[in-house]
Structure 1
Amino acid sequence: MTDPNRAVVERFYHAFAQRDAEAMVACYSDDVVFSDPIFGTLRGADAGDMWRMLLSRAEQLEVHVDDVRANGDSASAHWRASYRFGPRARRVVNDVQARFQLRDGLICHHDDSFALWSWSRQALGLPGLLLGWSPLLQGKVRRQAFEGLRSYQQRRG
């Protein structure tokens, strides 16, 4: 018998691999709290809109998930996304460890952890290699991500 919380996490990543943002968002509670090194903390609709935005922009996206585990109301997964990023379409492979809290069959807390410097070296090229460790560049990446999300939300109305 499959653990129902594990099944929710597996459904989330299956939707991600299929580029189905609405099915991903359906796995979240209305008050979900999402966090990662790029977007920081997003709550509720902002978390869903982040996935909608990312999938609407994704070029040559491949998502692989493994090691999905659930224990009571907690779950975890390891996943890897490969995609093209930015105007130069640089290949990025992001290796992520995810942790979840679930409530009433939905994800209410989702925390993605990955090395921001590793991501910036791939996504930004030489500036990311030389300065990806610095709080200045990391802050700029976060600001641009958040501004991109707000712009996406304004266009959607």
Structure 2
Amino acid sequence: MSNAHAELIRTFYQAFQRGDAEAMSACYHPKVRFSDPAFRDLRGAEAGDMWRMLCSRAQDFSLTFSDVHADQTRGSAQWQARYTFTQTGRSVLNRIHAEFVFRDGLIIEHRDHFDLWRWARQALGAKGWLVGALPAGRRAIAAQARRSLEAWRQSRK
């Protein structure tokens, strides 16, 4: 099973490299839970919709991934994304450690870990230096990410 789970992780990131959010979402269990420092506690269809939104907005996007490991229940990978943050036009290189839990041959939990302060400094410039350093600023970034996702989801109805 570990080879199948490692292959599932590779399939997920290869789809991401192509900007294929549908193929990415197909790797998720219907009851998936996703979390990262910006998009906290997404469940089910929200997680797939986050990838749909991000892929649809991606500019100058490239992704690499490595160190894929998986066993019967858990997996991990390293990945990095380069892109232009559309709200500011600033260039971002985000380095992420991903952790996965599997159920029924699909990803049931996906947690991405990255330095939000580093991301904020790149994406937001001087404002990000302060915002990303403070707990209230990190909460504000997450709240804005949630609002953005909700607005995107509403526009698709």
Instruction: Calculate the TM-score normalised by the size of structure 1.
Output: 0.96
Return the offset for 1:88. Answer: 2.9
Deviations 1:19-53 (A, max 9, x none): 00000000000000001000111000000000000
SS in 1 for 2:61: strand
Q: Which position in structure 2 is the counterpart of 1:67?
A: 67
Return the offset for 1:87. Answer: 3.3
CA–CA distance in 1 between the matches of 2:138 and 2:111? 18
Q: Does 1:105 align with 2:105?
A: yes
SS in 2 for 1:3: helix
SS in 2 for 1:34: strand
Show structure 2 runs of 5+ residues with no match.
Answer: none
CA–CA distance in 1 between the matches of 2:2 and 2:31? 26
Q: CA RMSD in A?
A: 1.3
Deviations 1:123-157 (A, max 9, x none): 00001123321012111111110000000000000
Correspondence list, 1:1-150, <5 A: 3-150=3-150
Q: Percent of pairs identical after alignment?
A: 46
Q: Which position in structure 2 is the counterpart of 1:152?
A: 152
Contact 2:63-2:79 within 8 A present in 1 as well:
yes
Show structure 1 runs of 5+ residues with no match.
Answer: none
Instruction: Calculate the TM-score normalised by the size of structure 2.
Output: 0.96
CA–CA distance in 2 between the matches of 1:2 and 1:98? 16
CA–CA distance in 1 between the matches of 2:32 and 2:6? 17
Worse-matched range after superposition: 141-150 or 130-139? 130-139
Deviations 1:28-82 (A, max 9, x none): 0000000100011100000000000011111011010000001221110000000
